[in-house]
Structure 1
Amino acid sequence: MKHGSTFLLRLIILFIGLVILVLCVLGLPSLAMDKSNPEFTRRLYPILITMWIAAVPFFIGLYQGLKVLAYIDKKTAFSELSVRALKHVKYCALIISTLYFFSLPFFYLLAQHDDAPGLVVIGLVLTFGSIVVATFAAVLQKLLQEAVAIKSENDLTV
């Protein structure tokens, strides 16, 4: 694979990471500091804490994605290291999904207070989006594991 295709993917991963980092550092605290509606802000705290906690496995997953791209550049994509990195991505996505699943009641309470049912949908999108990423990583992990097994079997045949 050419370095150009992985370079674009790396840029995308770094851009996503930068956007989430800016949101965590600037966006979420500004929501927590809103003094205009203290009751709304008080109900928002559990969701904001969940988002900050979920940022940790998110960045770990992004780092693992960068490692997979590095393995592709080194032409060692079909190795146990890639399988292990995809396994970490899968676990990070499952952790994020679990965190948002358990915060869904807080999304519901916030939606009831603000009379905005779309807030619950945001919580569901965050939960199921992470499940989709975990499923995709699990499928890739399984395929890559089988490819590594076939490759090692072919290396022994020679």
Structure 2
Amino acid sequence: MKQGSTIFLKIAVILMGLPVLALCIFLLPQIANEAIEAAKNNSTLAYVVFGILIIMYSSVLPFYVALYQAFKLLSYIDKNKAFSKLSVKALKKIKYCAIIISGLYVVALPLVYIVAEWDDAPGLILVGMVMVGAPFVIAVFAAVLQRLLQEAINIKSENDLTV
């Protein structure tokens, strides 16, 4: 494959990371400061918000690991190493990161429910469920791709042995 044929996808991967970085730098600390002020007034809801913030910050590391693995996978495609164990390994790491993110947000759902009940915002629960579902779909997709790629590698190695 021609060198640089995946430039658009690499740019898309980088652009996917920028909003999350902005969220972590600008919005989440502001929410944390407001929660600190609420905790000083003995608001129990502030501790629920702290729990959600901890889970959100915890999900950032697997998110960026998955983005890095996607970037590496695109580099393997550029280098004609798409059908290699390295690609399968990258897909496996993406799958595990997506499962971790989904699991973290499953743990956050009861906290989101508490905030939604307090704020009388039932739509917030749907947003929480999307935060569980989207990484789960990515994990399933990565698992299917991983399996297909592994089967293709096995078939390729069998064909190399017979020729």
2:98 aligned with 1:93, yes or no? yes
- Within the alignment, does 1:116 sit opposite 2:121 as a pair? yes
Asked whether the 8 Å contact 2:3–2:79 carries over to 1, the reply is: no
List alignment gaps of at least 5 residues for structure 1. Answer: none
- Whether 1:33 aligns to 2:38 is no
How far off is 1:34 after superposition?
2.2
Q: Give the equivalent residue in structure 1 for 2:78.
A: 73
TM-score if structure 2 supplies the norm length? 0.91
Decide which moves more: 41-50 or 66-75. Answer: 41-50
Q: Secondary structure at the match of 1:17?
A: helix
Structure 2 partner of 1:153: 158
Judge conservation of contact 1:31–1:41 (CA < 8 Å) in 2: no
1:142 is aligned to: 147
What one-letter code is carried by the residue in structure 2 that aligns with 1:149?
A: N
CA contact (8 A) 1:91 1:134 kept: yes
How far apart are 1:2 and its partner, in Å? 3.7
Which 4+ runs in 1 deviate beyond 3 A? 1-5, 39-42
| DSSP 3-state at the match of 1:33 | helix
- The residue number in structure 1 matching 2:12 is 12
TM-score, normalising length from structure 1?
Answer: 0.94
Number of the residue aligned with 1:103? 108
Output the CA distance in 2 between the equivalents of 1:22 and 1:2.
34
Instruction: Mark the CA change 1:63 to 1:114 in structure 2 (over 3 Å): closer, same or farther.
Output: same
